[in-house]
Amino acid sequence: MTLQGKRVLITGASGDLGRAMAHRFLGLGADLALQYRSNAAGLEPVLDAAKEAGREAFAVAADLADAGGAERLAAAVQERWTELDGLVNNAGGARPQAFDAIAPEEWEQSLRLNLTAPFRLMQLLLPELKARAGAVVNISSVAALTGGAFGPSYAAGKAGLIGLTRSAARDLGPHGVRVNALAPGPVESEMTSSLAGPVLDGIIASTALRRLVGPGEIADAAAFLLAAGTAVTGQTLTVDAGRHFS
């Protein structure tokens, strides 16, 4: 499996999953555009690794939960690259909330981050993806299938992302662009560590393997979907230690 010379944009690159994917893609020979919201320090090891490997990597600050954030990110990437081999829509998140505690503005912000931003980035970067018959990997969540522990706005956004993946795969396939989704969970991350101990213990106990998923395992799956160069499109690959069986 190789990504040699491929240009890949990763959103949410400074988080646990984003960094794992960035290091994995670098190891496979990719050049990287790395979106982050505020944790620039989290990307320093990735940028250092890229320099050491002789690969191109640059960081772009953009808040994808804000209106216009996706547009600013796309413009920054297009300023550097006229062609794109891969887009990984990884930025996302939520905080656990009861159903009746979610304010309308929080609902809208969550959907902008988890669903609208991936849609806009695919739309805005389509010319660059078409130029290289590129691939898109949308990072959904097993919460889209189970309801999850992070509340309805997160589950709804991630479920919508699976629907978007299927629709985009049909529309973009004639252009040679493949679109797939990953449904991770529960992953060793800052997000899962925010859950109350008994809640997390219950989630782990519900998995067939009785463990969390490592970020590196998600990175390997994403690399496969980017590098496959096969007829795989419109699919959702669940990597969740056996929490949900479809």
pLDDT tens column, 164-216: 999 999 999 999 999 999 999 888 877 777 776 788 888 889 889 999 999 99
CA distance 184 to 150: 14
Flag whether the pTM goes above 0.85: yes
36 counts as catalytic = no
Instruction: Classify 2 as helix, strand or coil.
Output: coil
Catalytic residue among 154, 212, 213, 238: 154
Q: What is the pLDDT of residues 57-92, one digit of tens each?
A: 999 999 999 999 999 999 999 999 999 999 999 999
Nearest to 161 by CA among 118, 224, 218, 221: 118
Residue 181: what pLDDT? 98
Question: 86 with 68: CB under 8 angstroms?
Answer: no
Average pLDDT over residues 15-33: 97
Main-chain dihedrals φ then ψ at residue 74, nearest 5 degrees: -60, -40
DSSP state of 215: H
Ramachandran sector of residue 133 (left: φ over 0; alpha: ψ -120 to 50; beta: rest): left
> Do the bridges between strand 135-139 and strand 57-61 make them parallel or antiparallel, or are there none, so unpaired?
unpaired
Domains and CATH numbers, the chain: 7-228 (3.40.50.720)
SS3 sequence, 59-97? Answer: EEECCCCCCCHHHHHHHHHHHHCCCCCEEEECCCCCCCC
